[in-house]
Structure formats: structure tokens, C-alpha cells
Amino acid sequence: MTVSEKTDITQDTFLVGLGASPGVAIGETYLLNRARLTVVERAITAEEVPGEVSAFMDAVQLSKRQLEEVKAGVTDRQLAEHLYIIDTHLLILEDQMLIADTVATIERDLVNAEGALRRILDKFRKVFDSIEDEYLRERRSDIDSVGNRLLRNLKGETQQALTEFDRKVIIVAHELSPADTMQIDKEKIIGFVTDVGGRTSHTAILARSMGIPAVVGLETVSSLVAGGIPAIVDGVNGTVILNPSPETFKEYLKKKQSFEYLEKELLSYRELAAETLDGCRIALRGNVELVDEVPLAMSQGAEGIGLFRSEFLYMNRLVLPSEEDQFDAYRSIVERMAPHPVTIRPLDVGGDKFVAEINLADEANPAMGLRAVRFSLKERRLFKVQLRAILRASAYGRVRLMFPMISGVAEIRACKDCLEQAKAELTAEGIPFDPALPMGIMIETPSAALVADHLAQEVDFFSVGTNDLIQYCLAVDRGNEHVAYLYEPLHPAILKALKMICHAARTAGIEVGMCGEMAGEPLYSLVLLGLGFDELSMNAPGIPRVKRVLRQVSREDGGRLLEELMQLTTAQEVARRLEEEMNQRFPEIFGAPII
């Protein structure tokens, strides 16, 4: 290994983070001065209180004006879809907990404004840090970015704008706020890497929507890298290579070209149907947690939402959402997706999903405890509120209702009773809803798979939740890294369960879909086609790749491959054979990685 003359960074230094936005950027680094703020808390006298309060309120006003300016400066249509992020930040600046508590802390505890603000921000952070869900935990970064803006404005510090570059650069920063990211000049900034952040941070979402390769969560990159170092950002694998050798450079140039070629080609799939060579139409839909994610699903060509995880409406708030709150959210998503359907899943709380306002008793085995419909059927008042809201939204577009974690016929019948009651109430009140609203269930438990034939008589559709089905079939906790090696979607037991579920649906003449992560992995698309799935619902960015695979194969091919795979006895054998087949058919998608 040689050492670069420009810096003391060794040639081919590989750093591993999280790929936040796919693509490969090759260029020169630019270290952005986003030094961490130092906050000094100091005691003040009662006489100083009015001055500190007014300095704080001035900083709030200035922050609002700055964010309004960012908003006004966004002209890119795709970016404009994400302006809600800036609106969220403006809302945080209106938040009484933040404003009033900071002022109260200045007055009550006699501390200066920046010290008081930091105390309140720390309180917020603690709440967010205790959230298990990655997406919601990431929302802490919104508070951080507003907090940092406020603190900088309080201290009178200015930040370098991201619009002032005279050449193409890869930005290296401790962190970038969504407002920073929105101001990025796409012509000049070809990639970015940050110490902090996760895949679902707003900054990552924005990077994806701008098509700028990004790697986040590198922890120390901003202290390691000076400006002007040659670097490669591989947003697919989440790696950054500093001072690449000529060989590495050549390899990545090739990777960059094939990635860009594939992306261009995938773009052309957006408007095309997911139709196989033998004319089978598969509905490719999006999984969303929040209404905000709808534009992304639409931009990827989703033909509706196959899973709206409604529990996210219940999280991150002080009181449970009312019928009206929920109705507004459901209606908005349903109207935005029209004419496509939106599949709303009632509350799936418990297990790995936690809602602060719902006090679930401590359970030794929460995944097998009072979760999802089990909870809803116990708390029928809450359940009814949600069912009424979903029914009401069905008057404004195509809604499908889907109950989670059904383990047998008695449970779905109990859910149907509640639904009938909600319908009767709305009818009596003269409130409109779709009387033919399709009603389905998720197949997520081994018992549901085993009695799928009986369940199929009760509902309009199935959607297989493989995330849980695999966990329960194989007795492998989906979130436990120690047994992650046993979490095998291609386990012969899973293939058998899927075959059984699809057969039951076919025989009963109902639709069968899949909304677990397995649906969005193109490696499985041919097998899922062979199994007979009508719908695959996934995280939106997966749609074009899955569509591309489906359009170049036939259901017959899938059926043949499935039969062959079902003769094999271990997940490893199945995986090997499947990879071989898919590599051969689609070397440009499944070809061996270059490193």
C-alpha cells in the first residue's frame, strides 16, 4: 500500500456505513464545516430573564424566516414533493412544548437561553431514543436539525450554504439537515457522506429522491477526511473508498456505468404494467408507514398501497388519534392514490411495535402475546374508532381493509362482527362508506397457513406477511441478530407454507398477495410468480427492479423453477439453485458484486 502525498490517508481506505441512496459517485471530497455546536449553560439573574427570552424568541423567528426562504427556493418538481419536511420543521418551531418549555426553563431555573434550549432538546431526544422503530426513531433528527438551527441563530453563527461550489464535489459532513440537502446544487454535489444518520432519515429520503449517491452512519468520516481527497461513494453497498488505487478506480467506474445504465432502463419501466411474457398481470404496490411516503410510492409506479401500517398514526403523539384524525389521514392517502386501492391495516401494536400511549402489560413473549387483532379485539372501543375512520375514508376512494395476525377462523369472525357494528352505526348516522369494501387478512401465523382453506371462505383476499410468517414458522425472532442466520425465506418449510396459502386462495377464487419484505426482493420474484401471487407489495424503491424481472419471465418458468426448488431439502440448496438461475437470467441485476 502506498500513502497519498496529499494527506496521510492510506490508498484504498474502505469505510463501511449505510447505503442511504444508491448509485456510485467518483470525485473529490469537500469537508463541510458543520462543526458540532458548543452550548454553554450559564446561570442568569432575574433581571437578565427578559433579554434571554427575547433573544430566544428572535432566534425562533429568524429560524422560521430561513426555512421559509429554503421553501421558496425549491423549484425542482421532485424535491417540491418533499417540502413537507420543511413544513414539519416549521411546525416544530411552533411546538408549544419546545417554545413554552424553553421559556419556562429560562424563567424558572434562571439559566441562559441556549442552556435552557439544550435541556428541552435533551428531553425530546430521550423520548425519541426509546422508540424501537427505526423510521420513527429517525424523526429525532428533525428535532436535532431544528434545535441546531435555533442554537446557531441564538449564538449568531452562520453556516456555509451548499450552493457555492465552483466544481463537482462529494460532500463530507458530520451531518446534513434536510434544509441543507434541499439546497444542494445537483450539478455540483455528486455525492455525500456523513457521520450520522440512518437509511430512513429525511436526509436519506431526500438524497434518494434527488438521485444523489449517499452513505451515512460512517461515524468518524468527517474527522478523518480533509478536503480535496479523491474518493468513491458506493451508495448501493454503503461503502466509501478514500484515495482509490487505479485498479479500484477502474472497477468502480465500471460499476458506476452499469448502475447508471440499469437506472435509466428502470425508469422506462415506471409506466409499464408488471405483466409477464405469458400475460399474467401482477399488481405491484407500495408499503407505507406514513402519508408522507405516498409520493415516493407513486413516483416508483406503485399501483396502489398494499400495506398501510396504521399503527404509525398512533406513535409519536401525546394522545391517541381520534376518529377524525384517522379519517383525515386515511382520506388523504386514499384520495392521493386514486384510482388505485389503498389497503389499510388496523393497529398492529405489540410484538416489536410499541405505542407510548398504549400501556401493554409486560409480557414474557410479546411476539406471541397480546398483539395486533388480539389487542384490538380486547380493546373494542379503540378498534371501533379505527374501523369507523377506515370505513368513512372508503367513501372517497378505493379502500381495502386487512386484519393483521389472524390465527384462525374464530378471530376473523370476531373482527367481522366489529366491522358490521361499525357499519351499522355509520348507516344509522347517515355517514357514507363503501358497502362493498373488500376485507382481507394477513397470513402471518403457521396456524393461518394451515387453515388457509377455511379462512379463504371468510374473506375477499389474503396478503402474506412473510416477516412474521417466517419468524413464527421457523421459531426465529425476526429482530434477534444471534439467530439471524436461521431466518431463511427460502427454507423448504416456508416454500411449502406459501404453496399451501396460494393453493387455498386459488381454490376459493380469492386474491392472494404478499406484503412482507420477501415481496420486494427481485431474487424471489420468479418463484413468487410461480407460486401464483396476484399482488406484491413492497417498499417503493423495490418496484422497478421487481417489475423488470417479472416482465422478462413467464408464470410457466416460475412454476417449473418452483417445482425444482421444492425437491430440495435445505434453504442453502434452494438459495444456491435460485441464485444460479437468476444470475443466468439477469446477470446485470444479480451478477456477483465486484468486491
Of the two residues 252 and 403, which places its CB atom closer to Mg ion in the complex?
A: 403
Amino acid identity of residue 17, one-letter, is: G
How far, in Å, CA of 81 to CA of 451, rounded?
A: 44
Nearest distance from C-beta of residue 337 to Mg ion, angstroms: 22
Among 515, 536, 553, 562, binds ligand PEP (CB under 6 A): 515
- Quick one: 101 or 348, whose CB is closer to Mg ion? 348
Residue given cell 434452494 in the structure block: 574
Select the residue whose beta carbon is closest to Mg ion and give its number.
468
Cα separation, 29 vs 233, whole angstroms: 10
Instruction: Select from ligand PEP, Mg ion, none the partner in contact with residue 466, using the beta carbon and a kind-dependent cut-off of 5 to 8 Å.
Output: ligand PEP
In the complex, the smallest distance separating the C-beta of residue 353 from ligand PEP, rounded to whole angstroms, is 7
Q: How many CB atoms lie within 10 A of CB 321?
A: 19
List, edge to edge, every strand of the sheet that includes 169-173. Answer: 13-16, 239-242, 230-234, 24-31, 169-173, 189-194, 214-216, 18-21
Our finding on whether 400 is near ligand PEP (CB under 6 A) is no
Catalytic choice (202, 473, 491, 502): 202
Q: What is the 3-state secondary structure (H, E, C) of 475-523?
A: CCCCCCHHHHHHCCCCCHHHHHHHHHHHHHHHHHCCEEEECCHHHHCHH
Q: Helix, strand, coil proportions of the chain in percent (round to 5)?
A: 50, 15, 35
With CA atoms as reference, report the closest residue to 224 among 246, 240, 248, 203: 240
Q: How far is the CB of 292 from Mg ion (least distance, A)?
A: 21
Shortest CB 293 distance to ligand PEP, Å: 14
Identify whether 202 is a catalytic site residue.
Answer: yes
444 forms part of the interface with ligand PEP (CB under 6 A): yes
Contact 352, 479 (CB under 8 A): yes
For residue 574, what is the enclosing H or E element?
helix 571-585
The answer to whether 21 contacts ligand PEP (rule: CB under 6 A) is no
Amino acid at 453: D
3-state secondary structure 395-429: HHCCEEEEECCCCCHHHHHHHHHHHHHHHHHHHHH
Q: What is the DSSP letter of 595?
A: -
**Is residue 289 involved in binding ligand PEP (CB under 6 A)?**
no
515 makes contact, choosing from Mg ion, ligand PEP, none, with CB < 5 to 8 Å by partner type, with ligand PEP
350 binds Mg ion (CB under 5 A): no
Pick the binder of ligand PEP from 197, 238, 516, 530 (CB under 6 A).
Answer: 516
Number of residues that bind Mg ion (CB under 5 A): 3
Q: Which is nearer to Mg ion, 173 or 518 (CB)?
A: 518
Kindly state whether residue 293 participates in binding ligand PEP, applying the rule CB under 6 A.
Answer: no
Q: Do 266 and 548 meet the contact criterion of CB atoms below 8 Å apart?
A: yes
Stretch that binds ligand PEP, among 156-164, 252-260, 263-271, 460-468 (CB under 6 A): 460-468
Q: Which residues 239-298 are close enough to bind Mg ion by CB under 5 A?
A: none
Select 32 or 372, whichever has its Cβ closest to ligand PEP. 372
Q: What is the CA radius of gyration of the chain?
A: 26
Cell of 329: 389521514
Note the maximum CA span of the chain: 82
What number of other Cβ atoms are within 10 A of residue 14's Cβ?
A: 14
Residues 336-375 that bind ligand PEP (CB under 6 A): 348
Among 22, 341, 465, 522, contact with ligand PEP (rule: CB under 6 A): 465
Cell 418533499, located at residue: 82
303 versus 468: smaller Cβ distance to Mg ion? 468
- Of Mg ion, ligand PEP, none, which one sits near residue 29, judging by CB under 5 to 8 A according to partner kind? none
* 466 part of the interface to ligand PEP, by CB under 6 A: yes
Looking at beta carbons only, is 314 or 586 nearer to ligand PEP?
314
Q: Which residues in the 423-482 window bind Mg ion by CB under 5 A? A: 444, 465, 468
| Position 468 contacts ligand PEP (CB under 6 A) | yes
Interface of this chain with ligand PEP, residues 182 to 241, rule: CB under 6 A: none
Q: Which residues bind ligand PEP (CB under 6 A)?
A: 307, 309, 348, 444, 465-468, 515-516
Catalytic (active-site) positions: 202, 515
Q: Which residues bind Mg ion (CB under 5 A)?
A: 444, 465, 468
